[in-house]
Amino acid sequence: MLRALDDRAIVRYPVVVRFAAEGLEPGEMAHAAALGEHPKDGFSLLIHPSFEARRDSWALIIAYHIPPMNYGDIVEPEDCEAFGAAMLGLDVETYYEKLCALADSIG
């Protein structure tokens, strides 16, 4: 999944992944923060540090955040779910359930 972030056919702009709680809202497992005024400046994808050792969760979390990094505010949560599910070869309901379980695992 980390290699996919460097593939401009999948992710339009540069992305740096950071495992850090600062910048996340309480209960939020990840958030893409713009690194500048224009998307071409790239993004920092903040992922809750509780997932750093849980490599199996990375693809689920990262895939969900690709659409808003590519297309901005026009993207709805349903778009993120559909994209993540398609990217990982899951049906949308299964993908959503896995994301919810990850979110619920944050202390």
pLDDT at 2: 85
Under the banding of pLDDT at 50, 70 and 90, the label for residue 1 is confident
CA distances from residue 13 to 42, 97, 101 in whole angstroms, order as listed: 5, 28, 29
CA-CA distances (angstroms) from residue 90 to 40, 53, 60, 99?
30, 23, 10, 12
Phi, psi at 45, each rounded to 5°: -90, 105
- Where are the domains positioned within the chain? 2-104
Cβ–Cβ < 8 Å for 60, 102: yes
pLDDT tens readout for residues 50-97: 999 999 999 999 999 999 999 999 999 999 999 999 999 999 999 999
